Structure formats: C-alpha cells, structure tokens
Amino acid sequence: MQLKRIKNHLIVGSIIMIFGVILFEVFDLLALGIGLVFSGLMLIIAGLYGATKPETEIRLDERMRRIDERAGYFAFWLTFSTIGILLWVSIYLPDRFRTTDILFLLMLIGIYSYFIIHFYYNRKGLK
C-alpha cells in the first residue's frame, strides 16, 4: 500500500467526517451529519481500496472515461427530471412529502441510477 496515493483521501475524508460529527452532535442536524460521516468514511475506504491496487489497474482508458461521462450525464438528467416530478407532486399534494424524504429519495436515485447506467454501458459497450 502506498501512502502517497491515499494521503489526500485520508485528509479530506477525515475532515468531512469531523464536520459531520460536529453537525450531528452540536447543531443536531441528524440527516446531514450522518450523511457527511458516511461520505467521509466511503472516501477513506475508496482511498484504501485504490492504494491496494497496482498502478497499472488504476489508469482509466478512453472507453472507461466515456462510460463515466455518459453515465454521469444520464444520471444527472434522471435526477433532474425526478426533481421536476417531485416539484409537481408537492404543488398538488402539499402535505405528501417532508423535505428530508425528498432529499433522501433524490440522493438514492442519483447514486443508484449512475451505478446502474454505468454497469449497463460497461456490459453493452460504447460505439
């Protein structure tokens, strides 16, 4: 494991986790604090995972970059259209959703749609 490759992930992940704990404990923002702690932890785990791989497996070729760009593009528009749908639902049914429910739903849709679309393009291949 090379500490040089993981140093930025460890520093930024630790800062995010500390900020999340402060928001969770001091300001009593439960959802935001837990989300930041989870994000910092995932960043540290991703850094550790990347540090254990050989240097030849880390570099992205042009095909993988195109898949990442295309998956991010479609995941963004899927999340954006979900925001529009939830906006209209909140206008016609104002007491249906809480703000935390909407934010949690958008986060899940954004993350999972990216992974599903990335998996699809990785298996299908790009032309």
- List all residues 6 or more positions away from 10 whose beta carbon is below 8 Å from its beta carbon: 44, 47
**5 pLDDT more than 70:** no
Global pTM exceeds 0.75: no
In whole angstroms, what is the distance from residue 117 CA to residue 121 CA?
Answer: 6
* Mean pLDDT computed over 72-99: 87
Domain positions in the chain are 1-59, 60-122
pLDDT in tens, 29-66: 788 888 888 888 888 888 887 777 766 665 667 888 88
**73 pLDDT more than 90:** yes
